[in-house]
Structure 1
Amino acid sequence: MISADKIAEHMEVIAADGIHVGTVDHMDGESRIKLTKNGFDDGRHHLIPIDWVDHVDAHVHLTKNSDYVRSQWSSIN
């Protein structure tokens, strides 16, 4: 599993199919990444589990494709 300390604010999050799915707002505890609400029509934050992270370099790369991510993430105000 990826260590939460490798994930920083403003990092781009990229799905396994190469599509941008969000930007890191901050870590929500040790197990979830909270995405900024910028760029989302619903104006809400979205949360994805750190278990979906494949690796981190300049970006956060996920193991799931963008359709799966968008259908399974959690949303909060």
Structure 2
Amino acid sequence: MEVVRLSSKGQLVLPKNIRDRLSLKQGLELKVELIGGKIVLEPVCQEARADWRCWRGSLRGERALEEHLEEHRQEVVHDD
């Protein structure tokens, strides 16, 4: 888990390792939602066909699934 600081203008910087893992580039638009008290950021696909190609490379790394499952386990324990 990474911790970032909100600036006086309401801006934050996504950590480089997260930007790299998701292949996020300068100028990319992000959809922002509030879901259950959590802020969720999701890249907006700029391609004419919004399909799986928009997310290509987003799960790079050998431990992506394991990390996701561990995060889910922690959320379940926290919700109890």
Same fold (TM over 0.5): no
Higher helix proportion (structure 1 or 2): 2
Higher strand proportion (structure 1 or 2): 1
Decide which structure has the larger Cα Rg and report it.
2
TM-score (norm 1): 0.29
